[in-house]
Amino acid sequence: MPIIVFGVSHKTAPIDVREKVALDAEQLKAALDGARQAIGAREALILSTCNRTEFYLSADEHPQGQLADWLVQFKSLDPKLVDGHFYTLEGPQAIRHTLRVACGLDSMVLGEPQILGQLKQAYQASESGGSIGKTLSKLMQYAFTVAKKVRTETAIGQTPVSVAYAAVRLARQIHGDLSTKTALLIGAGDTISLVANHLRSQHIGRMIIANRTLSRSEELARELGGIAIALTDIAQHLWEADILVSSTASPLPIIQRKAVAAAVRKRRFEPMFLVDLAVPRDIEPGVAELDDVYLYTVDDLNNVITENMELRQLAAAQAEEIVTLHAQNFMDWLHSLDGNAMIVAYRRQAEATRDELLTKAQRQLAAGEDPAHVLRALANTLVNKLVHHPTTKIREATIEGRSELVLAARELLNIRDPDTDA
């Protein structure tokens, strides 16, 4: 059963495309069902992050273009907007891509660890939604194992290179010493936690943490020594923020241009450094037009991440070798499934023939026919039915000069060469 990966990523689409394609938690169940129906897939999993929205599917076939057409309709997109940005991978390419994604080898920041947790969450969501089965489940578990192997056997994660690291590095370039500065962090997921830890290592003076769920803000604030506020209270504290980093799953911008303009005036035009790590974006793009405001998106940070990459590149080469080996191992497993299915089907076919002829023979015996005659007829008919199709195909292959098929048949049927065997 072919494995298919379809979607967009930071490599094929800018942020203004990715944010329109991105799927939030409320859309996920409908999207899983819709994608499966679009191509008749048996299994589906969706990974939607700031850098990619990808569909992982297991299907008997893939009608080209149907997934793209369905997604355009599902998200009410302008076809011209996404034209040329989608990609589709199948079979070995899809498997290798999945393993590379899990290992952080396809990420904007090479080797970043957050993607593995995001892929695990996507797997759990598909499992809860009943859209994942044996094939994709096996692939995901395999990807998680390979990612762990890459982490333990290479140095790909031993240097601080991430969008969180880059954001804090930029903050230092703009503000210098951070010990007197205040950071407002919006969100409470892994990315914000990583940003908070980097800020703490740079001795940030004060952290304010806002999240839709206040209890989660309070939990992170206790852990990191910050102050927790509700999302609805951001406007009251915005002016305090020398640094603002936002990473939520909100479908609409949380930070409006008007609010930032008011905050800048209240700050007497002291610079504000804003980083929007969310897709769709949390901060209105127009904020970048304001004086004394420095706004960066995840795409902007890609141009900032330069340090510690040499070591990661060396480790990535080792990781690619691990991925190549294990991608082939998974393909071997898939092929074994095909073989098992063929064996089961062949046995059922033979057993059906047996049962048909046995029933006929039993009727003949019950009617009083000669048992010896019935048994001979049964044996001859069974042999003829079982060998008819193979012998016909071998004869055709011989006439057509398809020697490879003849040799394969000799091996499968365990036929000795009459010219060499006594």
Which of 41, 45, 46, 50 is catalytic? The answer is: 50
In 3-state terms, what secondary structure has residue 293? strand
Q: Place 422 in a pLDDT band, splitting at 50, 70 and 90.
A: very low
- Is CATH 3.40.50.720 the right assignment for the domain spanning 163-301? yes
Question: CB–CB of 253/284 below 8 Å?
Answer: yes
pTM: 0.65
Residue 315 has pLDDT above 90, yes or no: no
Question: CB–CB of 162/191 below 8 Å?
Answer: no
Q: Where are the domains of the chain?
A: 3-158+311-336, 163-301, 370-422
Question: CB–CB of 378/384 below 8 Å?
Answer: no
Question: CB–CB of 250/282 below 8 Å?
Answer: yes
Give the Cα separation of 192 and 237 in Å (integer). Answer: 18
Q: Is the peptide bond before 280 cis (omega within 30 degrees of 0)?
A: yes
Residue range 179-226, pLDDT digits in tens: 999 999 999 888 888 899 889 989 999 999 999 888 888 988 888 888
Residue 1 has pLDDT above 70, yes or no: no
Active site residue 50: yes
Q: Which residue from 35, 19, 40 is spatially nearest to 73, judged by alpha carbons?
A: 35
Cα angle, residue 309 at apex, residues 307 and 313 outer, rounded to 5°? 170
Q: What is the pLDDT of residue 242?
A: 95
In the structure encoding, which two tokens stand for residue 422, read together?
Answer: 């006594």
Query: Length of the chain in residues, anyone?
Result: 422
DSSP labels, 85-117? T-EEEETHHHHHHHHHHHHTTTSSSTT-SHHHH
Q: What is the mean pLDDT of residues 15-24?
A: 92
Strand-strand pairing, 182-186 and 43-48: unpaired
Give the Cα separation of 78 and 324 in Å (integer). Answer: 37
| Extended strands (E) in 13-65 | 43-48, 52-58
Question: Class for domain 3-158+311-336, per CATH?
Answer: alpha beta
Question: CB–CB of 202/177 below 8 Å?
Answer: no
